[in-house]
Amino acid sequence: GAATSPRLTVIGTGYLGATHAVCMAALGHQVLGVDVDAAKISRLASGEVPFFEPGLPELLVKALESGRLRFTTSFPEAADFGDVHFVCVGTPQRAGSFAADLSQVEAAVTALARDVRRRALVVGKSTVPVGTAARLAELIRSVAPAGDGVELAWNPEFLREGFAIDDTMQPDRLVFGVSSPWAEQRLREVFAPVIGQGSPVLVTDPQTAELVKVAANSFLATKISYINAMAEVCEAIGADVHDLAVALGLDARIGSRFLRPGLGFGGGCLPKDIRAFLHRAEELGVGHAVAFLRDVDEINHRRRARTVDLVRELAGGDLRGVRVAALGAAFKPDSDDIRDAPALDVANALHQLGARVRVFDPVAMDNARRAWPTLGYGQSTFDVASGADVVVLLTEWSQFREIDPEALGTVVGKRRIVDGRHALEPARWRAAGWEYRAL
Ligand code: UGA
């Protein structure tokens, strides 16, 4: 019955929302996906995932066939259908500021609340500045016909692109930020199959739940920038940051994950989350407490500049007219996401300095072309490398790791490579006559 099996809506069917909707249906729930983008909704409804995520297209088709997953653009329909409404819209960085742009969240919650006439739980999943939940709860109370019958909870999402299904089905932890035992109970019902698989639940207040997400992403970003800062020191003295990272990582208190030095972090989350956190902490009068995140951001950007320098050095000091083969565009492998992608930032900087850059990426080509139309593109690794003066590896796709240096050497103009992700075996490339440089 309705009491034990709440009907769900998922508002915002981008990366997070589409994954959440499909996974919730796969777990046996009745789910309605909602978005203002009619084109996106009709693609999803016909079984097509509008972005690259391994396994998701198959799971979407199954969920549609089961009859448990439907899509709509109608907020009144969603308000009528759902017992629990998940808000999964984007919170990008505001133009010209570090602050998060909350307009989509506010619009979605308002559009939904206007028609909620019965007891319901609205659950925020979007990454927001701490304190947003309290404001939204106020907004809902004032807008919803059901008034106090509509509660707000926060349930941050920690999924990684490329591992979205596993991270949703078997997350490291579930965080329920709730204001009442009823809200906790509803969330426990929704996530019963996930909890049954062993994911621990942490129950807390909404503002702590909001903070868990930004604090986690800030920690991850800090860890990456820490090892990249060590890379700068290593370079100054001729030490090996990769050996250093292995040695550090073997200390269980430090751990080896997110300690890979290289071109640094990008994507739609880490960079904008640390900036939004800086901004929010300043608003709260505790900017000094997280001021180090500014360094984290700057260290990360210096990696991009250093990669450009390495290419320039290999090219003999001047990039004008130099043919550069750029391998990778996505912000990380197994993703077609190019938001704040270090790879494209570097490719564009090389282009600005006069290099003739040609980019190849296994899945992110369409997105890259659309966002960076002034760059050159090619069909394959060998296509872009053909005649190149310098090859630069920018995203560590496995197909790049497997390149045969001997074979690639036969098509390039000069055997020179910069490995921005430490994805290749230097000895192998040097043995094949390549000048190999790594960050
Ligand atoms: C990140 C977090 O890992 C997720 O937990 C979180 O849910 C998500 O953001 C989000 O906020 O939605 P994601 O952006 O998919 O997930 O990517 P990550 O796997 O975290 O990688 C981020 C960046 O760090 C990539 O550019 C990657 O190349 C870089 N990275 C990662 C390094 O440079 N070194 C490392 O050791 C690890």
DSSP secondary structure letters along 115-168: T--S-EEEEE-S---TTHHHHHHHHHHHH-TTGGGEEEEE----PPTTSHHHHH
Asked if residue 93 has its Cβ within 6 Å of ligand 1, the reply is no
Numbers of helices and strands, H then E, in the chain:
19, 14
Q: Looking at the structure, do residues 83 and 17 belong to the same domain, yes or no?
A: yes
Residue nearest to atom 16 of ligand 1 (CA): 160
C-alpha 367/C-alpha 340 separation (Å) is 12
Residue 317 lies in a domain: yes
- Which residue reads 């899509």 in tokens? 71
User: 224: which DSSP letter?
Assistant: H
Q: Which among 180, 128, 174 has a CA at the least distance from the CA of 152?
A: 180
Q: Where among 204, 237, 272 does a domain terminate? A: 204
Residue nearest to atom 3 of ligand 1 (CA): 160
Pseudo-torsion of CA 7, 51, 133, 201, nearest 10°?
Answer: 70
Q: Work out the angle at residue 56's Cα, subtended by the Cα atoms of residues 71 and 360, and round it to the nearest 5 degrees.
A: 115
pLDDT value at position 77? 98
User: 160 C-alpha to center of ligand 1: Å?
Assistant: 7
Q: Looking at the structure, do residues 64 and 200 belong to the same domain, yes or no?
A: yes
| Crossing angle of the two packed helices 342-352 and 292-314, in degrees rounded to 10 | 50
Helices (H), 333-425: 342-352, 365-371, 381-385, 398-401, 405-409
Q: Which domain holds residue 227?
A: 214-289
| Mutation choice for ligand 1 from 15, 332, 340, CB with most ligand atoms inside 8 A | 332
287 is an annotated ligand-binding site residue? no
pLDDT value at position 439? 86
Q: Which among 153, 192, 26 has a CA at the least distance from the CA of 201?
A: 192
C-alpha 351/C-alpha 323 separation (Å) is 10
Q: Looking at the structure, do residues 19 and 149 belong to the same domain, yes or no?
A: yes
Residue 3 lies in a domain: no
Q: Looking at the structure, do residues 398 and 377 belong to the same domain, yes or no?
A: yes
265 is an annotated ligand-binding site residue? no
Residue nearest to atom 12 of ligand 1 (CA): 269
Grouping H, G, I as helix, E, B as strand and the rest as coil, residue 83 is coil
Asked if residue 158 has its Cβ within 6 Å of ligand 1, the reply is yes
Nearest-atom number in ligand 1 for the CA of 16 is 12
Q: Which among 398, 413, 222 has a CA at the least distance from the CA of 324?
A: 413
- Spell out where 284-413 has E strands: 323-327, 356-360, 376-377, 390-393
C-alpha 326/C-alpha 378 separation (Å) is 10
pLDDT value at position 4? 62
Residue 46 lies in a domain: yes
Residue 281 lies in a domain: yes
Helices (H), 198-240: 206-237
Half-sphere exposure of 381 (CA within 13 A, CB side): 22
Sorted by sequence, the CB contacts under 8 Å of residue 254 that are 6+ apart come out as 248
Q: Under a CB-based contact definition with an 8 Å cutoff, are residues 187 and 195 in contact? A: no
**Phi/psi at 108 (5° precision):** -65, -45
Q: Where among 186, 204, 222 does a domain terminate? A: 204
Q: Looking at the structure, do residues 186 and 39 belong to the same domain, yes or no?
A: yes
Q: Looking at the structure, do residues 187 and 221 belong to the same domain, yes or no?
A: no
- Which residue reads 């199954």 in tokens? 62
| Mutation choice for ligand 1 from 93, 161, 339, 395, CB with most ligand atoms inside 8 A | 161
Q: Looking at the structure, do residues 425 and 373 belong to the same domain, yes or no?
A: yes
What is the edge-to-edge ordering of all strands in the sheet holding 150-154? 69-72, 31-34, 8-11, 84-87, 120-124, 150-154, 174-177, 201-204
User: 162 C-alpha to center of ligand 1: Å?
Assistant: 10
Q: Looking at the structure, do residues 76 and 113 belong to the same domain, yes or no?
A: yes
Q: Looking at the structure, do residues 359 and 310 belong to the same domain, yes or no?
A: yes
Domain total in the chain: 3
C-alpha 405/C-alpha 41 separation (Å) is 45
Residue 2 lies in a domain: no
Residue nearest to atom 9 of ligand 1 (CA): 269
Q: Where among 204, 239, 256 does a domain terminate? A: 204
Q: Tell me, what CATH number does 93's domain have? A: 3.40.50.720
C-alpha 439/C-alpha 427 separation (Å) is 15
Q: Looking at the structure, do residues 188 and 103 belong to the same domain, yes or no?
A: yes
Asked if residue 160 has its Cβ within 6 Å of ligand 1, the reply is yes
Grouping H, G, I as helix, E, B as strand and the rest as coil, residue 324 is strand
Residue 209 lies in a domain: no
Asked if residue 377 has its Cβ within 6 Å of ligand 1, the reply is no
Per-residue pLDDT of the chain in tens (439 residues, 90 and over written 9): 445 689 999 999 999 999 999 999 999 999 999 999 999 999 999 999 999 999 999 999 999 999 999 999 999 999 999 999 999 999 999 999 999 999 999 999 999 999 999 999 999 999 999 999 999 999 999 999 999 999 999 999 999 999 999 999 999 999 999 999 999 999 999 999 999 999 999 999 999 999 999 999 999 999 999 999 999 999 999 999 999 999 999 999 999 999 999 999 999 999 999 999 999 999 999 999 999 999 999 999 999 999 999 999 999 999 999 999 999 999 999 999 999 999 999 999 999 999 999 999 999 999 999 999 999 999 999 999 999 999 999 999 999 999 999 999 999 999 999 999 999 999 999 999 999 999 8
Asked if residue 266 has its Cβ within 6 Å of ligand 1, the reply is yes
Tokens of residue 106, six digits: 């506010």
275 is an annotated ligand-binding site residue? no
Residue 88 lies in a domain: yes
Residue nearest to atom 34 of ligand 1 (CA): 260
C-alpha 291/C-alpha 210 separation (Å) is 20
Largest CA distance in the chain: 73
Q: Looking at the structure, do residues 179 and 246 belong to the same domain, yes or no?
A: no
Whether pTM > 0.80 for this model: the answer is yes
User: 276 C-alpha to center of ligand 1: Å?
Assistant: 16
Residue 1 lies in a domain: no
Which sequence positions are flagged as catalytic? 269
Nearest-atom number in ligand 1 for the CA of 261 is 34
Residue nearest to atom 7 of ligand 1 (CA): 158
Nearest-atom number in ligand 1 for the CA of 395 is 28
Asked if residue 397 has its Cβ within 6 Å of ligand 1, the reply is no
Asked if residue 168 has its Cβ within 6 Å of ligand 1, the reply is no
Q: Under a CB-based contact definition with an 8 Å cutoff, are residues 397 and 333 in contact? A: yes
The alpha-carbon radius of gyration of the chain (Å, integer) is 24
Asked if residue 226 has its Cβ within 6 Å of ligand 1, the reply is no
Q: Looking at the structure, do residues 44 and 179 belong to the same domain, yes or no?
A: yes
307 is an annotated ligand-binding site residue? no
Q: Tell me, what CATH number does 257's domain have? A: 1.10.1040.10
C-alpha 10/C-alpha 237 separation (Å) is 52
